């Protein structure tokens, strides 16, 4: 939902105009409206709106305004917000006895009231996905703050310009030519005028504590609750359905929960492949038939994907190989979803990082190493899968919600003993146990299957592989034809930071450099590489445990 930009410091009309123009680069994130609030000498808040909650009256910037006033007149606090606060009604009920009334049905309005009353102390109580910036002015003086959700599901970057002003924005493209330095804003942190940057989200699992023995029997209930709260929407909602375990479970729970409210509810599901026989399309059809969704299939060609490379890199702001490979089909699918009038989709991101679902996790030497890798992957999701999910969908004004990264679900799943989560091939005295077996077992109910057993126990297939093996192979072949041996040999001279080591990596890096020049931009990207296997190729087919394994050259 939406795109935001904020500038704090010595702000005048000229800086405000520059900020508004920079925010317009985020128009794809917010096609339904734009707004600006300027407080001379303090800051400027800009917003591009994707209207999801209260489309008629939830315009931003949104304020804690007194009854009878309009817009931001007389307000103590003003906010621009990208995301959703799932517990906003509960927070509103807490504020009501303190004399606060609400003028819209937007979840964002509660942020302004909380900031007015509590300063930044309220942020840990938010349950949702968010990046927001706020200004407060009252008898205590002028103040401002910025915060990002605990896992970084909503993107945010920050930097400083030559005059010392701080800039914050949803995407890199709005900052890159205004700031002398810039970088990703860390998840689970907030930044205040007087205290600077600090962490507010500090669960024990993220700090390196060894997991306890959480009761895994609660996984099904926690995931259902996570899905339920993400059905909050005043506009049409659907599900992404790759036919893999994770998206199928989310689709199944979404369908059951919506039909429990309304037995006639129609659920729309969306799948994509490079041809009608793509592995994901075949599996998705089976799930859709089982659930009775109104199912949509989108097919794209290798040529379409290659032609879209520059658009994809411009939107996802990355040169990471698996990010680019997976973003292109998701970009095409999101465009189709938007054209169907659907603005919100639920998706399955996060499960593989939490449960060690990638095939390389079979090679972890022990449960401790397995657990450390799951923690690192979850902590860095804002640089990989959730970045791709957000920016690929928001390129077309579609919001993706990710129930597996619900904080209550994470608290349970990340505290399950790693011995129970680690997959095994059945050697060295271990019982054979497939990846994510604990999650699969939680939903294995022969008397009332949520999804077909063939999909519940389907081997992990990475999205970029599942759309059709020709896709990754075709991208690699295209890069081989485009990049010369000499260019690759001189890659370290051209790209001193994280130089590419394959032609595919070189192709993406060179196109990224043309769009986002300079080392600061390059350092905003993290490269995803699997551990513990001979091949560093991120394709699951490079792993010997893949059912259709073929040896691949290492990518970098």
The residues that are catalytic are 2
Contact 216, 420 (CB under 8 A): yes
Start-to-end C-alpha separation, the chain:
33
Three-state DSSP class for residue 47: strand
Contact 451, 442 (CB under 8 A): no
Separation CA 503–CA 116 (nearest Å)? 53
Separation CA 502–CA 555 (nearest Å)? 6
Distance (Å) of CA 20 to CA 27, 81, 175, 211, 515: 11, 16, 12, 47, 21
CB atoms within 10 A of CB 438: 18
Contact 156, 148 (CB under 8 A): yes
User: Would strands 237-240 and 268-273 be described as parallel, antiparallel, or unpaired?
Assistant: parallel
Handedness of CA 541, 546, 551, 555 (dihedral sign): positive
Handedness of CA 173, 178, 180, 184 (dihedral sign): negative
Which of 92, 105, 98 has its CA nearest to residue 59?
105
CB environment 329-360: b (16+ within 10 A), e (fewer): bbbbbbbbbbeeebbbbbbbbbbbbbbbbbbb
């Amino acid at each position: 939902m939406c795109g935001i930009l904020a500038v704090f410091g010595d702000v005048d009309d000229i800086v405000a105009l520059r900020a508004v123009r920079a925010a317009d680069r985020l128009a794809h994130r917010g096609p339904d409206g734009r707004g600006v609030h300027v407080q001379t000498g303090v800051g400027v808040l800009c917003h591009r709106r994707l209207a999801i909650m209260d489309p008629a009256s939830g315009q931003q910037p949104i304020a804690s305004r007194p009854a009878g006033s309009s817009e931001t007149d007389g307000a103590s606090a003003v906010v621009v917000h990208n995301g959703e606060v799932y517990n906003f009604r509960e927070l509103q009920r807490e504020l009501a006895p303190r004399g606060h009334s609400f003028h819209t049905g937007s979840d964002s309005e509660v942020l302004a009231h909380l900031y007015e009353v509590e300063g930044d102390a309220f942020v840990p109580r938010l349950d949702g996905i968010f990046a927001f910036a706020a200004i407060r002015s009252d008898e205590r003086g002028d103040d401002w703050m910025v915060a990002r959700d605990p896992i970084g599901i909503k993107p945010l970057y920050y930097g400083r310009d030559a005059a010392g002003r701080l800039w914050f924005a949803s995407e890199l493209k709005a900052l890159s030519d205004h700031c002398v330095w810039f970088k990703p804003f860390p998840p689970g942190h907030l930044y205040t005028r007087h205290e600077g940057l600090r962490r507010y989200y500090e669960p024990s699992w993220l700090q390196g504590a060894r997991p306890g023995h959480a009761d895994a029997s609660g996984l099904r209930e926690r995931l259902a609750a996570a899905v339920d709260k993400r059905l909050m929407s005043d506009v049409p909602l659907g599900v992404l359905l790759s036919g893999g375990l994770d998206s199928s479970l989310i689709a199944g729970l979404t369908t059951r929960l919506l039909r429990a409210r309304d037995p006639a509810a129609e659920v729309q599901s969306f799948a994509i492949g490079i041809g009608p026989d793509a592995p994901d399309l075949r599996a998705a059809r089976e799930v859709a038939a089982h659930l009775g969704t109104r199912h949509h299939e989108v097919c794209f060609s290798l040529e379409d994907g290659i032609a879209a490379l520059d658009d994809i890199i411009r939107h996802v702001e990355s040169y990471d190989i698996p990010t680019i490979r997976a973003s292109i089909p998701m970009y095409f699918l999101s465009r189709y979803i938007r054209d169907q009038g659907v603005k919100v989709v639920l998706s399955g991101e996060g499960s593989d990082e939490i449960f060690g679902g990638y095939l390389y996790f079979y090679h972890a030497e022990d449960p401790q190493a397995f657990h450390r890798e799951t923690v690192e992957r979850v902590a860095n999701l804002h640089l990989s899968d959730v970045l791709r999910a957000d920016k690929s969908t928001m390129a077309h004004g579609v919001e993706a919600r990710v129930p597996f990264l619900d904080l209550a679900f994470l608290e349970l799943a990340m505290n399950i003993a790693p011995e129970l989560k680690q997959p095994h091939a059945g050697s060295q005295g271990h019982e054979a146990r497939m990846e994510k077996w604990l999650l699969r077992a939680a939903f294995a109910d022969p008397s009332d299957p949520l999804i077909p057993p063939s999909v519940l126990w389907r081997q992990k297939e990475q999205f970029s592989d599942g759309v059709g093996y020709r896709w990754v192979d075709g991208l690699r072949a295209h890069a081989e034809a485009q990049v010369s041996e000499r260019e690759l040999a001189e890659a370290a001279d051209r790209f001193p930071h994280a130089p590419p080591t394959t032609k595919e990596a070189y192709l993406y890096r060179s196109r990224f450099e043309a769009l986002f020049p300079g080392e600061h931009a390059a350092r905003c990207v993290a490269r995803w590489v699997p551990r513990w296997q001979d091949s560093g190729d991120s394709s699951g087919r490079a792993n010997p445990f893949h059912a259709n394994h073929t040896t691949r050259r290492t990518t970098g």
